[in-house]
């Protein structure tokens, strides 16, 4: 087990820089998830940590030593790939034992270790099978077993669940989390799925465009997004973003709605983006923050997603599933002060005010 | 209302579903295609049939076109097998074809793997240079090869016969293309697990391209087994001949002993059959994909 840190890490392919100075500290035993849209540099970062990609500049520390110039095998990490990368010509036992080939352990110890890992993953019965005789979830478990068998100091996962169907994904998500609680090894897990990130992580690293946008616990990134990108990326359905103007007493949206907010005198008059999550919008009979006509309703059972056409664009709200508004209804929506997020209209940086400091 | 009380027209059409689809009349195009294939098959089999037939004939009957020998004899076989020369040629050919096959399977795949999976400056140029040698026919190369063998003292030796074919551009190209189907993840996973590059090639990549290796082995073995021009030029002594070179000289100057040549040829097809039967087992498609997403 080991802590890991990245210092001003950059990566360029030819002249194109794809990572622009990544700084991150990961504590020993922590479960950190990198999340972000496709192409934002998650895999590249992970592969540099693994030693599969050369570092353009900056430093990677694992367990206190700089590993920039170490071969992958000298870093004592293990990686699980999206396509599992288990060898079709070897049995499950051989596949799991593959990581021990260069360990120098006596054969009996190796066998014992394989059995131990197989038992931990509940696949003792499958050891004699070939990968072609396994289901997708079982193959992924073999890949995890192969990573575990060496008892590495850091586990790296690159979108390991994206090839599984939705149900299996949920199940494996839980299994990996349990596994982490049991073995306690540092894990860095890459995904583009914010639900996976929220449910598994001790801390989430949200990336976009080769930059880290925010690092925080799931709670923090959900409650206090650092900028409009994080606010829109975390949480489903996405946060509604309304162009607005802020003054000392409150905010007036460009579409005409307004809400009183104690922003304070030094806040000044400025253009902002007002963010409010669908869950935080309520139907109201009084003066609303936004008003419009219901365009589409998506019943989810306990609640219904209501898509509303407003003067400021489409707004999504969650309504009680038992009494949803009907398509064509004119509705007005309101939100509680403390559920409102303000972002600078140009930079998207979150502006602190009252409850959001 | 159950299915039985329904008027016949509304009953689920079980009979219709069970009835075999009407047999399509074979159309003209299909008949012509079969006919052509059949003729092609005959054209391919005839030489073999004649080879065997001639090998069972007495010399006086060789120029008689009949397929069934009037007085079949195995005299030719006894003669050829007891003749020490044929035995030597056979051993020579076996050694040469086997060594060349092993060499090609190892080195073509090693180079193909490197060209496929490693990014290094000049990679493309090396690949194009290798490919471009495919455009030079053997006939143009035998003279330089001969001069080279002469000055290096390789004439009339195994090494002299084998050296031009120990690696082939075609084999390298074939293997490079097949290694493209081995996912990089497999290689990187092995790298993380601590294998060195040579171990990765041997334990991970090679087993995944077995079908290609088998095809290459068949090509190379057959190619060398039947090679004629270069072995003829580079060998002088009868003991160094390969089967094709030796057979072509069976008989004396005035009289070509066709029945003996055909006998030798018939015997020499046996190793090629064995090679084909052994290696074609490995030509099973889809092995590589089985370890990836299901
Ligand atoms: N080998 C490469 N050569 C050039 N560009 C690359 C290479 N690998 C990745 N990139 C680029 O780097 C960026 C980050 O890629 P990646 O880390 O794979 O993103 P993701 O977050 O989806 O895993 C992308 O814009 C991608 O196009
Ligand atoms: Mg990726």
A175-189, A206-220, A254-268: the lowest-pLDDT one: A254-268
Per domain, the residue ranges of chain A are 4-229, 240-352
One fold for both A4-229 and A240-352?
A: no
Tell me the C-alpha to C-alpha distance, in Å, between residue B213 and each of A217, B97, B162, B183, B237: 52, 15, 20, 17, 34
pLDDT of residue B85: 87
Reference A157, options A137, A138, A173; nearest CA is A173
Q: CB contact, 8 Å: A157 with chain B? A: no
Give tens-digit pLDDT for B78-100.
988 888 888 999 999 999 999 99
As a whole number, mean pLDDT of residues B11-22 equals 51
In chain A, whose CA is at the least distance from the CA of B204? A87
Give tens-digit pLDDT for B132-162.
998 998 889 999 999 999 999 999 999 999 9
CATH class of A240-352: mainly beta
Check CB contact under 8 Å for B293 and A83.
Answer: yes
Per domain, the residue ranges of chain B are 27-73, 84-290
**How many Å apart are CA B247 and CA B231, to the nearest integer?**
12
pLDDT of residue B20: 57
Give tens-digit pLDDT for B258-269.
888 899 999 999
Check CB contact under 8 Å for A85 and B186.
Answer: yes
- Which of A9, A13, A52, A158 has most ligand 1 atoms within 8 Å of CB, for mutation? A13
Reference B89, options B188, B226, B282; nearest CA is B226
* CATH numeric code, B84-290: 1.10.3720.10
Q: Is the pLDDT of residue A196 over 70?
A: yes
Give tens-digit pLDDT for B229-248.
999 999 999 999 999 999 88
**B207 neighbourhood in chain A, CB within 8 Å:** 87, 89
Check CB contact under 8 Å for B288 and A88.
Answer: yes
Length of chain B: 294
Between chain A and chain B, the number of residue pairs with CB atoms below 8 A apart is 84
Longest dimension (CA), chain B: 99
pLDDT of residue B6: 44
| CA distance to partner chain A, nearest, from residue B208 (Å) | 7
Helices (H), chain B: 14-18, 28-55, 75-82, 84-117, 123-132, 138-152, 158-162, 169-179, 184-192, 197-199, 206-208, 210-225, 229-234, 243-248, 258-280
How many beta carbons lie within 10 A of that of residue B219, not counting itself?
17
Helices (H), B168-209: 169-179, 184-192, 197-199, 206-208
The answer to whether the beta carbons of residues A350 and A224 sit under 8 Å apart is yes
pLDDT of residue A287: 80
Domain A4-229 = CATH 3.40.50.720: no
Residue B293 banded pLDDT, cuts 50, 70, 90: very low
Residue A1 banded pLDDT, cuts 50, 70, 90: low
| CA distance to partner chain B, nearest, from residue A246 (Å) | 51
Q: Is the pLDDT of residue B200 over 60?
A: yes
Check CB contact under 8 Å for B290 and A88.
Answer: yes
Q: Can you tell me the ipTM of this complex? A: 0.83
Give tens-digit pLDDT for A114-156.
999 999 888 999 999 999 999 888 999 999 999 989 889 999 9
Question: pTM of the entire structure?
Answer: 0.81
């Amino acid at each position: 087990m080991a802590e890991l840190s990245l210092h001003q890490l950059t990566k360029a392919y030819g002249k194109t820089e794809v990572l622009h100075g990544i700084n991150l500290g990961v504590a020993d035993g922590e479960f950190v998830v990198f999340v972000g849209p496709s192409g934002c540099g998650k895999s590249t970062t992970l592969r540099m940590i693994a030693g599969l990609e050369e570092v353009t500049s900056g430093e990677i520390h694992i367990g206190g030593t700089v590993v920039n110039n170490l071969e992958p095998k000298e870093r004592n990490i293990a990686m699980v790939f999206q396509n599992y990368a288990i060898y079709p010509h070897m049995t499950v036992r051989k596949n799991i034992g593959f990581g021990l080939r260069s360990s120098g352990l006596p054969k009996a110890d190796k066998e014992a270790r394989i059995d131990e890992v197989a038992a931990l993953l509940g696949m003792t019965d499958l050891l004699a099978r070939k990968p072609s005789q396994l289901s997708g979830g079982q193959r992924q478990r073999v890949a995890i077993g192969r990573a575990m068998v060496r008892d590495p100091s850091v586990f790296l996962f690159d979108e390991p669940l994206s090839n599984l169907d939705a149900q299996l994904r949920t199940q494996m998500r839980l299994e990996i989390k349990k596994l982490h609680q049991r073995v306690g090894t540092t894990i860095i897990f890459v995904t583009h799925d914010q639900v996976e990130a929220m449910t598994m992580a001790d801390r989430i690293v949200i990336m976009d465009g080769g930059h880290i946008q925010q690092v925080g616990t799931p709670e923090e990134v959900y409650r206090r997004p650092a900028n409009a990108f994080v606010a829109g990326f975390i949480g489903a359905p996405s946060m509604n973003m309304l162009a607005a103007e802020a003054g000392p007493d409150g905010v007036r949206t460009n579409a005409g709605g307004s809400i009183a907010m104690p922003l304070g005198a030094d806040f000044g008059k400025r253009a902002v983006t007002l963010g409010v999550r669908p869950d935080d919008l309520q139907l109201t009979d009084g003066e609303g923050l936004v008003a419009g006509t219901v365009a589409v309703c998506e019943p989810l059972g306990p609640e219904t997603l209501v898509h509303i056409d407003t003067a400021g664009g489409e707004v999504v709200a969650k309504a009680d599933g038992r009494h949803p508004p009907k398509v064509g209804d004119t509705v007005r929506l309101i939100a509680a002060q403390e559920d409102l997020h303000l972002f600078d209209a140009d930079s998207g940086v979150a502006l602190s005010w009252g409850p959001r400091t | 209302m159950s299915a039985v009380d329904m008027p016949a027209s509304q009953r689920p059409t079980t009979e219709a579903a069970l009835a075999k689809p009407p047999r399509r009349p074979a159309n003209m195009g299909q008949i012509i295609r079969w006919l052509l294939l059949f003729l092609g098959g005959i054209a391919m089999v005839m030489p073999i049939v004649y080879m065997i037939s001639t090998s069972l004939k007495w010399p006086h009957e060789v120029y008689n076109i009949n397929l069934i020998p009037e007085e079949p004899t195995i005299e030719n076989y006894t003669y050829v097998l007891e003749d020490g020369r044929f035995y030597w040629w056979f051993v020579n050919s076996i050694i040469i074809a086997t060594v060349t096959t092993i060499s090609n399977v190892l080195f073509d795949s090693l180079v193909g793997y490197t060209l496929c999976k490693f990014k290094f400056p000049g990679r493309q140029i090396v690949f194009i240079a290798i490919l471009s040698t495919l455009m030079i026919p053997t006939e143009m190369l035998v003279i330089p090869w001969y001069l080279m063998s002469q000055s290096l003292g390789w004439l009339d030796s195994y090494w002299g016969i084998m050296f031009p074919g120990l690696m082939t551009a075609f084999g390298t190209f074939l293997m490079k293309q097949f290694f493209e189907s081995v996912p990089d993840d497999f290689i990187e996973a092995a790298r993380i697990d601590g294998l060195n590059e040579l171990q990765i090639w041997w334990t991970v990549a090679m087993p995944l391209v077995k079908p290609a290796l088998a095809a290459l082995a068949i090509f190379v073995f057959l190619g060398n087994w039947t090679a004629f021009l270069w072995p003829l030029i580079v060998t002088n002594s009868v003991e160094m001949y390969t089967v094709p070179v030796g057979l072509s000289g069976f008989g004396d100057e005035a009289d070509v002993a066709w029945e003996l040549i055909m006998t030798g040829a018939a015997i020499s097809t046996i190793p090629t059959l064995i090679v084909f039967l052994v290696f074609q087992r490995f030509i099973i498609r889809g092995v590589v994909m089985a370890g990836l997403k299901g």
